[in-house]
Amino acid sequence: MSAAEERWNEPESIVLLQRTAKLVAGIEASGVRMPQGDRELCHARLVAAHDARDRAAYRVALEGYEDRARNAYRKAKGVRKKREGS
């Protein structure tokens, strides 16, 4: 059975969302927040995948949310390093 064909599991989706939210909150606790547009896009994708009960799309949306948070952190960290190096 492919990931797209897996049956929707609401309790699992909640656990996955909680894990992702905890990870993103930890990243943002450093003082770096992803741009609001990215946040809204991630939330829209999560809602759409949840409403469609599409596990594969939901996992992709969660991964995208994590990636955007990490990228915002890396970008800010890189800017700080460049400023400190100057």
**Is the predicted pLDDT of residue 7 greater than 80, yes or no?**
yes
Cβ neighbours of residue 2 closer than 8 Å, sequence gap 6 or more:
56
Q: Which pTM does this prediction carry?
A: 0.82
**Is the predicted pLDDT of residue 5 greater than 90, yes or no?**
no
pLDDT range class, residue 81, cuts 50, 70, 90? low
Closest C-alpha to 65, from 53, 57, 77, 76: 57
Q: Indicate the Cα dihedral angle 53, 35, 63, 25, nearest 10°.
A: -100
Name the burial class of residue 49, with classes exposed (0-12), middle (13-18) and buried (19+) by CB atoms within 10 angstroms of its CB: buried
46 or 83, which is more confident? 46
pLDDT in tens, 21-64: 999 999 999 999 999 999 999 999 999 999 999 999 999 999 99
Cβ neighbours of residue 39 closer than 8 Å, sequence gap 6 or more:
33, 68
